Structure 1
Amino acid sequence: MEQQALDRGSLPKLQINRLRMDDIRAAFSDGWSDFRTYPAYGLFFGAIYAAGGIFIAVMLTYYHLPWMIIPVAIGFPLIGPFIAVGLYEISRRHRLGEPVSWKAILAEVFRQRERQLSWMAFVVLFIFWIWIYQVRLLMALFLGFRVPATLDAFVNVVLTTPEGLLFLAVGTVVGAVLATILFTATVISMPLLLDHDVDFVTAMLTSMRTVIENAAPMLVFGLVIAALAILAMVPLFLGLLVVLPVAGHATWHLYRRAITAT
């Protein structure tokens, strides 16, 4: 379902295509192929993401907030779509047969500060901060104001007390809702904004419509991405070196299958 490319300066009419499970498998396959073709670029962007996760974990430990490591680690993938902009550009250039170079890729990423993607970055970070603050609120409501001094103590309280289990259940539901909202609003809008000069509201609405009209395959895509991201963070975020670039490339290919611009 590869679509003919249009100039990014145009104002396209966007058509949402019907997706099948085969499209999801093909998107991941193409994403893996792009990563293998340009591994240095993928590892570079993956390293930025992994380094950010490690830095946050170290700082939380330094400031005696180790109990925040798990909530932050769970919410950290929420900002993945914005980090993946460089990966979208690599896949776009590869598909069009344009040269892929460090100068071209980094220049395009830097150029996004003047385009609508900067507004999407605000949306992504805003939802991430909502996640962090709701964790603190739920802790106060269910666990009181006695903050566990260590990560082990926090895990013990959450898994062995009725209040902790309720906190875990409610937090999981709230987190799932926030993640679903963000996924629905960004999975198509991020690559669309890179590909065409549309406003970010139009891009988000198009992304939401795409997810709603293709609920089953998009749900599978989102769950696979979430599962891979969580597994990738277990070994000190190092799995993100591979998972982030593959997921980013796959998202671009899914976008190309989901949207026709005329």
Structure 2
Amino acid sequence: MRRTDQALQESRTFGVRPLPLLRPLGWLARGARDLAACPGPSLTQGLLLALAGAALIALVHQRFWLLAGAFSAFLLVAPVLATGFYALSRALERGEPHPGWTTVRQAWRPRGRLVRFGLLLALAGSGWVLTSAALITTLAPLPIRSPQDFLQHIVLDESGLLLFEAWLGLGALLAAPVFASSVVAIPLLLDREISVLGAVYTSWRVVLEHPAPVALWALLLLSLTLIGMATAMLGLVVILPLLGHASWHAYRDMVRSL
């Protein structure tokens, strides 16, 4: 109880700024500006993440039931993977000269709070992968080995099992609280001295006070990420840095010190 009270008190040291509905579009514009200012380290990180996605496809291309859950889990752990982008945007905001790989390396130095939160997100992602795989392999009428199988036997299934609806529902049930807990938590942990629980409480306050703009932001994150994946992962080289930089500006717009 004492730890919870302390975290609540920490969270109350930060205010939540008013947000117009379309503010997320401005975050994307500022993210594009930061990407243009630091193209080398930003695009290289995007390339590394895209290659990781391509490697995942190569490993499980005959097990699409596993791949579907794995890419969904990627969206859950993405806030941690974007740490380097946050650091670059923060350096640009502060007017630091020539932010680059040194800035990124310093951001990725082991930090207890970031590591703990990252492990929690990884655990949530792994749990969804296992749940998704169990649901599809147990209830699917035929083996699911390709996107075509998933589309035909899960999405367009007419047997009345409603397997796709159940899959989406379970995914949303897990993703919604994880997103609400992390939408500003990782950049806040990078930027300020605050506990993991205090950062999570702050993130929830942002979501509860501004559900419509945050919902639009979640839709933009999901849509652009899916577009990047649909381009044989090539689009992610640009889209992931764009979203990472924009997420820093989302945090800076939504959270203020009191």
What TM-score, normalized to structure 2? Answer: 0.88
Identity %: 25
Q: Which amino acid counterpart does residue 190 of structure 1 have in structure 2?
A: I
- 2:185 equivalent among 178, 184, 189: 189
Rounded to whole Å, the distance in 1 between the matches of 2:160 and 2:46 is: 33
Q: 1:64-213 to 2 correspondence within 5 Å?
A: 64-111=62-109, 113-143=110-140, 147-163=143-159, 166-213=162-209
CA shift at 1:101, angstroms?
A: 3.7
Indicate the residue corresponding to 1:8 in structure 2.
none
Name the CA shift for 1:100/1:155 in 2 (closer, same or farther; >3 Å): same
Rounded to whole Å, the distance in 1 between the matches of 2:30 and 2:160 is: 42
Indicate the residue corresponding to 2:241 in structure 1.
245
CA shift at 1:199, angstroms?
A: 0.7
Structure 2 gaps of 5+ residues are 1-10
Name the CA shift for 1:255/1:162 in 2 (closer, same or farther; >3 Å): same
Name the CA shift for 1:165/1:236 in 2 (closer, same or farther; >3 Å): farther
Q: Which amino acid counterpart does residue 238 of structure 1 have in structure 2?
A: L
Q: Which amino acid counterpart does residue 133 of structure 2 have in structure 1?
A: R
Indicate the residue corresponding to 1:17 in structure 2.
17
Q: Is the 2:30–2:249 Cα contact (8 Å) retained in structure 1?
A: yes
CA shift at 1:217, angstroms?
A: 0.6
Rounded to whole Å, the distance in 1 between the matches of 2:221 and 2:108 is: 26
Indicate the residue corresponding to 1:255 in structure 2.
251
Q: Is the 2:41–2:101 Cα contact (8 Å) retained in structure 1?
A: no
CA shift at 1:151, angstroms?
A: 4.4
Rounded to whole Å, the distance in 2 between the matches of 1:158 and 1:229 is: 22
Q: Which amino acid counterpart does residue 108 of structure 1 have in structure 2?
A: Q
Name the CA shift for 1:161/1:194 in 2 (closer, same or farther; >3 Å): same
SS in 2 for 1:18: coil
SS in 2 for 1:260: strand
CA shift at 1:163, angstroms?
A: 4.7
Indicate the residue corresponding to 2:32 in structure 1.
32
CA shift at 1:67, angstroms?
A: 3.6
Does 2:218 align with 1:222? yes
C-alpha offsets along residues 116-174 of structure 1, whole Å, 9 cap, x if unaligned?
A: 11111112111111211111221244226x63344433432224433586111111111
After TM superposition, the runs of 4+ consecutive aligned structure 1 residues lying more than 4 A away are none
Rounded to whole Å, the distance in 2 between the matches of 1:196 and 1:159 is: 44
Rounded to whole Å, the distance in 1 between the matches of 2:200 and 2:26 is: 24
Indicate the residue corresponding to 2:229 in structure 1.
233
Q: Is the 1:143–1:164 Cα contact (8 Å) retained in structure 2?
A: no
C-alpha offsets along residues 157-201 of structure 1, whole Å, 9 cap, x if unaligned?
A: 224433586111111111122221121111110110010011111
Structure 1 gaps of 5+ residues are 1-10
CA shift at 1:13, angstroms?
A: 2.1
